[in-house]
């Protein structure tokens, strides 16, 4: 089995530094020859595991010379089993073209997602609890937290570059991210004289720790507690935006059920959305990472900016309903702000929390940005191609609201008669159906799908340098699922 007391290796291992300096064969470790091959390999692997990228480490150990005896063959099999046992599943080699279910890659983390979100939303007001938790009780797609968790796992073994942060060790444990920054007595102070009123404060997520313990994820350090919390924050921000959007759009259904504004009224829905953003902000602050806080705070501003761009565009179309070269680019910018920004910046934040190198952080951002735009373009198509029953909300809702989305904008370029309908926001009887007919007769849907596919391909390309593994496969599969989705 090669030289006695050593395990044969390749001559070079590339280390995950910004300069990618090679380590030569001198990196081989001398092993006591009295230790059997299986034990010494497991020992050497454990010592190297914290220093060498996991996929390269696997290749390092699989490059040994072929055994020349039955005993050696049995020992080699033990070696491979030991490596597979120690190597985290997220870092194992890709399985070629075999389709992987992204949900299964992070199933354990998603299992706790809804429960933790409901705990973060707890308050002493029964009606507020009911409204705030209304959408979290229905079965959502959880695409945004799913992407955060996949990105966290996919970048766990990518190149690292520690960056300046406050309390970097603080976010590595579950209990730490529940710890208040401000004194609990201040956070819960509702009335200076509450003792005189015999008032007892209900339990609050502002001061009480999560029921989820670190024992729920034994020996799994690929996804940090701070990254799991980021996934929850992302879903809180998204759900808050749904509450506000449904009020703005006068929506009557959401996820095949009555919308919150229909069930509880506009005031309750708006206040519940504000409350969710407040709780998301508290959870975000406790990550104690200024750059991540800045990113997610910008997302909230982007959501509002995108809404105002949509309002401005509608008013502009009324005054001058003519297609121009800026029509599509303006629409894509609005779509980034309203939809893709949250996905892009949360993917970037996941890589930042994992202390990834700048090129990995940027790759995570580009993945989220391109996938987010592809997601929105496909969403625009579904409004024309899927029934309201299957979609879970009224089909053609955008046209009913006077909004022109990508399929119609592409069709408009060659069908100028759409300008009249856009100008009056499809307000006359028959306008909505007429617009749908024109779009279906044009190449608007085909151009929209082609552009969505282009963005999906860019998303896959952006993470091509990530270490191979189930999480990377899951991120790639998400691009395929986005293009095939029907709701």
Q: DSSP labels for 325-356?
A: THHHHHHHHHHIIIIIHHHHHHHHHHHHHTTB
Helix axis angle, 341-353 relative to 358-385, nearest 10°? Answer: 150
Chain length of the chain: 487
3-state secondary structure 9-29: CCCCEECCCCCCCEECHHHCC
| Chain mean position to CA 286 | 19
- For residue 161, the tally of other CB atoms under 10 A from its CB is 14
Alpha-carbon distance 39 to 247, whole Å? 63
Q: Which listed CATH number (1.10.600.10, 1.10.599.10, 3.40.50.261, 3.40.1160.10) goes with 102-484?
A: 1.10.600.10
Q: Work out the burial of residue 356: count CB atoms within 10 Å of its CB; fewer than 13 is exposed, 13-18 middle, 19 or more buried.
A: buried
What CA–CA distance (Å, rounded) separates 86 from 35?
19
pLDDT in 10s for each residue of the chain, 487 residues = 444 444 333 333 333 333 333 323 333 333 333 334 333 333 443 444 444 444 444 333 333 334 444 544 554 454 444 434 434 444 444 444 557 999 999 999 999 998 899 889 888 788 999 998 888 776 667 999 999 999 999 999 999 987 765 555 555 566 667 777 776 666 666 555 555 445 455 556 665 555 554 445 555 678 999 999 999 999 999 999 999 999 999 988 887 789 999 999 999 999 999 999 999 999 999 999 999 999 999 999 999 999 999 888 766 666 668 898 899 999 999 999 999 999 999 999 999 999 999 999 999 999 999 999 999 999 999 989 887 666 666 667 889 989 999 999 999 999 999 999 998 999 999 999 999 999 999 999 999 999 999 999 999 999 999 999 999 999 999 999 999 998 7
Q: How many angstroms separate the CA atoms of 343 and 371, rounded? A: 8
Entry pTM: 0.75
**CB distance 167 to 226 below 8 Å:** no
Query: Can you give the residue ranges of every domain in the chain?
Result: 13-87, 102-484
């Amino acid at each position: 089995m090669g030289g006695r007391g050593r395990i044969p290796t390749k001559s070079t291992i590339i280390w995950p530094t910004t300069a990618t300096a090679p380590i030569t064969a001198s990196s081989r470790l001398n092993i006591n020859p009295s230790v059997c091959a299986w034990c010494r390999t497991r020992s050497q692997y454990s010592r190297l595991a914290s220093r060498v990228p996991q996929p390269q480490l696997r290749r390092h150990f699989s490059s040994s010379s072929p055994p020349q005896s039955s005993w050696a063959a049995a020992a080699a099999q033990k070696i491979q089993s030991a490596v597979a046992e120690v190597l985290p599943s997220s870092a194992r080699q890709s399985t070629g073209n075999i389709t992987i279910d992204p949900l299964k890659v992070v199933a354990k983390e998603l299992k706790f997602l809804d429960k933790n979100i409901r705990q973060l939303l707890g308050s002493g007001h029964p009606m507020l609890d009911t409204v705030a938790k209304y959408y979290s009780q229905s079965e959502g797609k959880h695409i945004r937290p799913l992407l955060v968790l996949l990105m966290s796992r996919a970048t766990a073994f990518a190149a690292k570059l520690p960056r300046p942060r406050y309390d970097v060790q603080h976010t590595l444990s579950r209990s730490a991210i529940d710890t208040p920054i401000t004194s609990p007595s201040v956070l819960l102070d509702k009335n200076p004289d509450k003792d005189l009123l015999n008032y007892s404060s209900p339990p609050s997520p502002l001061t009480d720790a999560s029921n989820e313990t670190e024992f729920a994820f034994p020996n799994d350090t690929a996804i940090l507690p701070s990254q799991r919390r980021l996934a929850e924050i992302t879903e809180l921000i998204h759900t808050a935006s749904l509450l506000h959007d449904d009020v703005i759009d006068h929506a009557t259904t959401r996820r095949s059920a009555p919308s919150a504004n229909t069930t509880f009224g506009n005031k309750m829905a708006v206040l519940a959305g504000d409350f969710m953003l407040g709780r998301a902000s508290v959870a975000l602050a406790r990550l104690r990472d200024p750059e991540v806080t800045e990113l997610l705070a910008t997302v909230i501003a982007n959501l509002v900016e995108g809404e105002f761009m949509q309002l401005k565009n509608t008013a502009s179309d009324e005054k001058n309903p003519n297609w121009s070269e800026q029509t599509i680019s303006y629409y894509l910018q609005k779509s980034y702000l309203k939809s893709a920004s949250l996905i892009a910046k949360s993917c970037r934040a996941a890589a930042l929390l994992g202390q990834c190198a700048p090129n990995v952080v940027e790759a995570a951002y580009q993945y989220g940005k391109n996938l987010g735009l592809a997601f929105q373009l496909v969403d625009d198509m579904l409004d024309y191609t899927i029934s309201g029953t299957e979609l879970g909300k009224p089909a053609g809702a955008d046209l009913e609201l006077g909004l022109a989305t990508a399929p119609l904008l592409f069709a408009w370029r060659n069908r100028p008669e759409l300008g009249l309908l856009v100008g009056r926001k499809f307000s006359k009887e028959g306008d909505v159906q007429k617009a749908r007919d024109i779009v279906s007769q044009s190449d608007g849907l085909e151009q929209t799908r082609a552009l969505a596919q282009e963005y999906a391909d860019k998303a896959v390309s952006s993470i091509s340098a990530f270490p191979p593994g189930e999480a990377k496969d899951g991120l790639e599969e998400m691009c395929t699922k986005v293009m095939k989705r029907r709701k």
